Amino acid sequence: MAFYEKDVGTLIDEAKLQARIRELGAEITRDYQGKELTLVCVLKGSTFFAMDLARNIDLPLTLEFLGVSSYQGGTETTGEVRITTDVSKPMAGKHLLVIEDIIDTGLTMGFLLENLRARHPASVKVASLLEKPSRARTKVDIDYKGFVIDDVFVVGYGLDYAEKYRNVPFIGVMKGK
């Protein structure tokens, strides 16, 4: 029995995740033909999605990592988004695709888009595996969206509860939360 089976139920299984990621990868491949694409992976939650998505994009892309944190171990945002790790290169003139695991209140992505646009990239688009529109506090346009989910706290496939459960291989819900 896997370590998480007692605590985590399945919301979106691995096959469904991978099928949708293949579709998104194909769409991004078409849209960025002839452009130099930079994936900006938002640490830590988006890492699993970003790596699977990158494998499904048939283009010579560049990877950058940007760390932000605002949940501080709980299920509610602190509302204060902090950069914990910055990208390694200037973003000016680049075609950026920001990769997120989830857009919940939208506060993190709102902060990130403002921060990245100030660096004068050629373009900025957003890919998010999940969207939880019922909790939105600010409007974020998602160019490449995996799934829309209800107002439940999800874990797995990169998403954590108090830093745990990121390595659960599917999108799950905490039982009894």
Ligand X SMILES: O=P(O)(O)OC[C@H]1O[C@H](OP(=O)(O)OP(=O)(O)O)[C@H](O)[C@@H]1O
The binding site for ligand HPA (CB under 6 A) comprises: 71, 102, 104, 153-155, 159-160
Catalytic option among 104, 141, 143, 150: 104
> In this chain, which of 8, 38, 100, 173 binds ligand X, going by CB under 6 A?
100
Closer residue to ligand X in complex, CB, 117/120: 117
Please tell me whether residue 42 binds ligand X under the rule CB under 6 A: yes
Closer residue to ligand HPA in complex, CB, 52/104: 104
Phi, psi (deg, nearest 5) at residue 92: -60, 130
| 25 interface partner picked from ligand HPA, ligand X, none, CB below 5 to 8 A per type | none
Q: Is 104 an annotated catalytic residue? A: yes
